[in-house]
Amino acid sequence: MNQKLFEIFLRQDGVMTKSTYVVQGANSAMARALVELNPQHRFVLFSENPLGYAPEAEHLAFQGPALDEEFMKTSIKAAADQWQQIDGYAHFSGSILLKPLHLTRLDEWEEVMRRHVTTAVVGLRALLPILKQQGFGSVVLVSSTAARIGLQNHEAIAAAKGALEGLIRSCAATYAPVRFNGVAPGLTRSRMSQRIVENENALKTSLQLQLQSIPQLAEARDQAEMISFLLSERSQMISGQIIAVDGGLSTTKRLGL
């Protein structure tokens, strides 16, 4: 076993253990990358549609509406009862809506809030009693660079992700020592961004990519690597933080363009 896997497996008592992670929005590219990066752990996979990949035999997969509180509560409790504990929760549910605010219909605005914010609230309400009773655990929510800097036509997504960032910091204080953190991706290859990233001409002329200090498209694995770290005990002193994995877009600007 290589050193990295050994450190993940080994707890302070020297016993080799597996962690159990709840993943909401399991059909997303980032969720799948997270599962593939961590074959040594167990996953409880939630999706509204059939999984686009075959879960390992030890994983649990639940298909149902992300906004159904009873479904989420019953399913998470079943997983906790089976494995005695839940070590972490990663939330990937969401959508992309790029429209200026004055052209965004109210129903579109509300749907963005439901997909990004309310699904996380429903999942956390089901999980938090378990994490509180345990006295440990790690929660990672996915924000966006759009919540950190002003990006044209991102009003709905920026507002939703800004709400998630506020939720992360408040929960980190309320539910300590359970840890809450967020990852803020820039433009990342995924099913939701497919229409953007598959247009080669648009990518070549993308001002966003040109402004990044690392001028390339992020992959789902790039985000999953950080999420995996934040879920694990290796990040035991990190809580209430939003970490950008955006090629430097939110903090640096290249000159001479």
Q: Among 49, 156, 44, which Cα is nearest to 100's?
A: 156
- Give counts: helices (H), strands (E), the chain: 10, 7
- 216 CB-near residues (< 8 Å, 6+ apart): 209, 247
DSSP string, 219-236: PHHHHHHHHHHHHSGGGT
**Model confidence over 208-236: pLDDT tens digits?**
666 677 777 889 999 999 999 999 999 99
How far apart are the C-alpha atoms of 188 and 168, rounded to whole Å? 22
Residue range 70-126, pLDDT digits in tens: 999 999 999 999 999 999 999 999 988 999 999 999 999 999 999 999 999 999 999
pLDDT at 255: 65
The pLDDT, as a whole number, for residue 4 is 43
108-116: long-range contacts, CB 8 A cutoff, minimum separation 24:
108/156, 109/156, 112/156, 112/157, 112/159, 112/160, 113/156, 113/159, 113/160, 113/163, 114/67, 115/160, 116/157, 116/160, 116/161, 116/163, 116/164
Q: Which phi and psi (to 5°) does residue 65 adopt?
A: -70, 130
Mean pLDDT estimate for the chain: 88
Q: Provide the pLDDT for residue 11.
A: 47
Q: What is the pLDDT of residue 187?
A: 83
What are the chain's domains? 3-245 (3.40.50.720)
48-78 confidence digits (pLDDT tens) = 999 988 888 889 999 999 999 999 999 999 9
Is the pLDDT confidence value at 198 over 90?
A: no
Asked whether residue 257 carries a pLDDT value surpassing 60, the answer given is: no
What integer is the mean pLDDT of 9-36? Answer: 81
Asked if 244 and 214 count as a contact pair (C-beta separation under 8 A), the reply is no
